[in-house]
Amino acid sequence: MKPEEQLAFATIEDLSALLAKRKISPVELTELFLRRIDRQNPALNAFLTVTAEPALAAARRAEKEFLRNPRTRKRNQPLLGIPISLKDNIWTRGIRTTAGSKILRDFVPTADATVVQKLTRAGAILIGKTNLHEFAYGITNNNFHYGAAHNPWALDRITGGSSGGSGAAIAAGLCVASVGTDTGGSIRIPSSLCGIVGLKPTFGRVSVNGTVPLSPSLDHVGPLARSVADAAILLGLIAGRDPLDPTSSTERVQNYRGALGKPMRKFRLGVPREFYWEKLDGEVRSATEAAVREMKKQGAVVREVSLPHLKESIAAATDLSLAEATHVHAAAGYFPARAADYSEEVRQRIEAGEKITAMQYLAALDVRKRLLAEFDAAFQDVDAIVAPTTAVPAPLIGAENVQIDGQQTSVRPALVGLCRPANFTGLPAISVPCGFTREGLPIGLQLVGRAFDEATLLRIAHSYERAHEWNARHPRI
């Protein structure tokens, strides 16, 4: 691997060590990523906005800080000099935040989102805002207004959505890490399809203040990263109670990175009888079943668990998201006043939300209670639920259906179906790479954990990652 590629695909920890030893400067590192964006973004369309001038100015400030006080990074600014991206539905002061929409094409926030404030204090350098499905309301990242994001493993394939630009940017070595949002799998789907790590924390673990909402009872903010350790570092920096977000939790924020190095007793994995393993692409099934067998060989205890309301939860979660998204857009004054400015796909979904009755919404909340109780019962015997992240690898851009076991299946349920239960329940979930198809497309393994126990989830994922190092493979574009 060439020196530039070694840096482009390095982790936060690797780059932080090089910066601290002055083997590379923040300006040199930022310029490296800007060059790569300039070369590759025309093919990938991963970035909607590249913040070259502010990024270089921040890099120069970071360089002065390293010269002035080399210990600052470890003590106060663990991301000092590290170039990251943000999904373009996260507010950035003075930098446009489009949410992938025509309606917000020229919206420039006057304040940063809470997560941006925290990342800035940690020293991160914002290198750009990434492509997403319009208003984060979709799972392909085939954006009607700004164009599709292209998967760096195969340019004719989707990245997955809605945080697909972030997934492509990390996989292609255009930034070190990113922060996205996840309402029905929007962090984990692109992580699975692009071969990176994506973590959806527990509902309330990370503030959503300053993010463009979609479905407030299902919305989460979390990291997309090159490694489990990087995801742990980012979670530790962005988690915590926020007085500006009434849904944020007062639960103690742990040292997630530190937890990865602690000895762990044999962990217990639950394989659900229902839903998760029923309808899968053959190569996805082979890779994910092999991953479970390999974890068992490493000492994991694997048990079957029952979650009978999983199937019922998919329709219930859809009812919640449809109703809440329509309310959000009506309250913001976008719908129906600016209905013509939506893509047909998103407009149809918002119109569908008008048809959800109060009885349907309340019934969905009842299903949520029952499913949470079933997860709680399962977690008496296991530490995490294990399943594929998506039922298929990355479909072709523009495809409406995929083949599973010889049958035509709509792309949407094939991608969102296995991710949505963690949004519906608010439980934490992580996707890690677990293999590749014969065509070289990544496959993701998903772990779902107890509420606010991201530390255990990260430790299990880290244990698997260290044994297999799928993230050492990189696309050639």
- Known catalytic residue at 311: no
DSSP secondary structure, 407-455, as one string: EEEEHHHHHHTTTHHHHHHT--EEEEEEEE-TTS-EEEEEEEE-TT-HH
Distance between CA atoms of residues 137 and 321, nearest Å: 10
Angle at 224 between CA 218 and CA 230, to 5 degrees: 125
Catalytic site residue from 16, 87, 217, 227: 87
User: Do 48 and 130 touch, CB atoms closer than 8 A?
Assistant: yes
Question: How many residues belong to the chain?
Answer: 477
Catalytic site residue from 85, 101, 162, 178: 162
Distance between CA atoms of residues 6 and 3, nearest Å: 5
Q: Which helix (H) or strand (E) holds 47?
A: strand 47-50
User: Do 434 and 460 touch, CB atoms closer than 8 A?
Assistant: no
Distance between CA atoms of residues 355 and 358, nearest Å: 10
DSSP secondary structure, 118-183, as one string: HHHHTT-EEEEEE--SGGG--SS-EETTTEE-EETTEEEEE--SSSHHHHHHHHTTSSSEEEEEES
Distance between CA atoms of residues 476 and 364, nearest Å: 44
Q: Which residues pair with 128 in a beta bridge?
A: 50, 85
- Known catalytic residue at 162: yes
The one-character DSSP state at 281 is -
The one-character DSSP state at 337 is T
Catalytic site residue from 25, 85, 178, 186: 186
- Known catalytic residue at 163: no
Active site residues: 87, 162, 186
